[in-house]
Amino acid sequence: MSGPAAILIGPPGAGKSTVGPLLAGLLRVTFLDTDSDIEAVAGKPVGDIFIEDGEPAFRALEREAVARAITVHPGVLGLGGGAVLDAGTRRLLAGQQVVYLETGFAAAAKRVGLDRARPLLLGNPRAQLKALLEQRLPIYAELAWITVGTDSRSAAEVADEIARQFDSADARG
């Protein structure tokens, strides 16, 4: 199969940016976060892109970054939580080794620190996060090759479980 060794998806606070580098180390590959690519292209942080240019501009940059990364990055790839909303991106993810980092509302709320600057959680962050999860969770589940729960677990435990599942999938052929 061509494409990344693993693609991590999940809501804000699922642990994609934390688990990704650990998993990459276990799989002996590199880690790439598409938000970092977007920031490099735009020359500013994701939050500033949302505020100054708007969500549609960010989503266009994200769509391009994800498509490029799926094509050229052989390691572990972490996608922004909303990347899966794009139909073209969902088509590119079909058949890839997509790992859904499943997180409940309470854990996600604690991890994103509802007072921190998350572009889509401005206004009433608790209500925004709840709505965001309700919209995206079925999409994450549908795209998943593997689903791994992250609540009450360390990033290292999650990375280890994913690596074990990859090892057993390889053994099955």
- Structural domain contains residue 1: no
- Structural domain contains residue 172: no
- Structural domain contains residue 119: yes
Asked which of 37-41, 68-72, 128-132 is least confident by mean pLDDT, the reply is 128-132
The continuous run of DSSP H or E covering 172 comes out as helix 155-172
Residue 113: other Cβ atoms inside 10 A: 12
Closest CA to 19 of 170, 157, 169, 166: 157
CATH of the domain at 128: 3.40.50.300
What local confidence, expressed as pLDDT, does residue 114 receive?
A: 47
- Structural domain contains residue 65: yes
- Structural domain contains residue 28: yes
pTM of the model: 0.85
What local confidence, expressed as pLDDT, does residue 33 receive?
A: 94
Domains held by the chain: number: 1
- Structural domain contains residue 173: no
Helices (H), 46-150: 46-53, 55-72, 87-93, 105-112, 125-143
- Structural domain contains residue 162: yes
- Structural domain contains residue 73: yes
Mean pLDDT for 55-72 is 94
Backbone phi, psi, residue 53, to 5°: -110, -20
Instruction: Name 40's Cβ contacts closer than 8 Å, sequence gap at least 6.
Output: none
Domain of residue 160: give its range: 6-167
Find the distance separating the first CA and the last CA of the chain, reported in whole Å. Answer: 12
What local confidence, expressed as pLDDT, does residue 14 receive?
A: 83
Tell me what the pLDDT averaged over the chain comes to. Answer: 84
